[in-house]
Amino acid sequence: MTELLKLDAFSAGYGKATVLHEVSLSVERGKAIALLGRNGVGKTTTLNSIVGLTRYHSGSIRLEGVDIARLPPERRVEAGIGWVPQERGVFRSLTVEENITAVARPGRWTLQAVYELFPRLKERRGNLGNQLSGGEQQMLAIARALVLNPKILLLDEPTEGLAPIIVEELLAAIRRIVREEGLAAIIVEQHAQQILAITDEAIILDRGSIAYAGESASLAEDRDTLGRFLGVGAAA
Question: In order of start, what are the domains of the chain with their CATH numbers?
Answer: 1-80+150-162+172-236 (3.40.50.300), 84-149 (no CATH)
- Per DSSP, the three-state class of 108 is coil
CA distances from 184 to 34, 56, 81, 134, 136 (A): 11, 24, 10, 25, 23
Tell which wins on pLDDT, 236 or 180.
180
What is the percentage of the chain residues whose pLDDT exceeds 70?
97
113 φ/ψ angles, rounded to the nearest 5 degrees = -65, -40
**Edge-first strand listing for the sheet containing 66-67:** 17-28, 3-14, 55-63, 66-67
Between CA 60 and CA 157, with CA 80 as vertex, the angle to 5 degrees is 80
Nearest alpha-carbon partner for 234 in 202, 210, 208, 186: 202
pLDDT, mean of residues 117-134:
96
Check residue 234 and give its pLDDT.
42
Nearest alpha-carbon partner for 114 in 99, 128, 127, 129: 99
Rounded distance between C-alpha atoms, residue 154 and residue 113, angstroms: 19
Check residue 1 and give its pLDDT.
55
**Are 213 and 202 contacting, i.e. CB atoms less than 8 angstroms apart?**
yes
At position 71, the amino acid (one-letter code) is L
Average pLDDT of every residue of the chain: 94
Check residue 232 and give its pLDDT.
44
- Predicted TM-score (pTM) of the model is 0.93
pLDDT tens digit string along 187-227?
999 889 999 999 999 999 999 999 999 999 999 999 999 99
**Are 13 and 6 contacting, i.e. CB atoms less than 8 angstroms apart?**
no
pLDDT tens digit string along 131-140?
999 999 999 9
Residue 102 has pLDDT above 80, yes or no: yes
The Cβ of residue 9 has, within 10 Å, a number of other Cβ atoms equal to 11
pLDDT, mean of residues 68-72:
96
At position 48, the amino acid (one-letter code) is N
